A = this chain, B = another copy of it.
Amino acid sequence: MAPVVPVVRVQPGDFDMAGEVEALTAGRTDIGAVVTFLGMCRDEEGRLSALELEHYPGMAEGEISRVAHEALARWPLQGLTVIHRYGRIAPGENIVLVACASTHRRAAFEAADFLMDYLKSRAPFWKKEFGVDGREGEWVEARESDERAAERWQR
């Protein structure tokens, strides 16, 4: 079987979840499970008008690729897509997509869960809040719980 090449994209524009899942599965009859994670921008109970996502160009793609290859080494996946947006994103819009295809559902679930935890702790992105008055707010603080979530996968 040909080695799986993960799809990794870091882009300002939106993505099409259905199209990405279709690209993973089209014409294939060996995939039993696709797990997707879609991360969206919340308004934090009406407090926010937008998030601005800053990223480190080059390193962002590089770290996501590294994490994707680690997932491929750990689980029997037949396809893997990670797309992360940057720039100004309004509440209700998409931020990140992870999609994992596998013969077996457990592998697809675990790989998607792992990818999200590792993206949070290793991909160089930073979120800044903008209030409903349009004014620049605070940088979102990293959460201890995200750090601990990533540590679950260390062996």
Which residues of A are interface residues toward B (Cβ below 8 A)? 16-18, 21, 25, 27-43, 45-46, 91-92, 103, 105-106, 108-109, 112-113, 116, 149
Contact = CB atoms under 8 A, between A and B. Distances in A.
Contact of A40 (B34, B36, B113): B34
A33 B40 contact: yes
23 contacts: A16-B18, A17-B17, A25-B40, A28-B92, A29-B41, A29-B42, A29-B43, A29-B91, A30-B45, A32-B40, A32-B42, A33-B37, A34-B36, A34-B37, A34-B40, A35-B112, A36-B36, A36-B38, A37-B105, A37-B109, A42-B103, A109-B109, A109-B113
A32 B108 CA distance: 21
B109 A105 contact: no
A57 B29 CA distance: 28
Given A17-B21, A34-B36, A109-B113, 14 more contacts: A21-B38, A25-B92, A28-B92, A29-B41, A29-B42, A29-B43, A29-B46, A30-B42, A32-B40, A32-B42, A33-B40, A35-B36, A39-B105, A42-B103
A5 to B, nearest CB: 21
A51 B109 CA distance: 23
Contacts of A21: 17, 38
Contacts of A92: 25, 27-29, 31
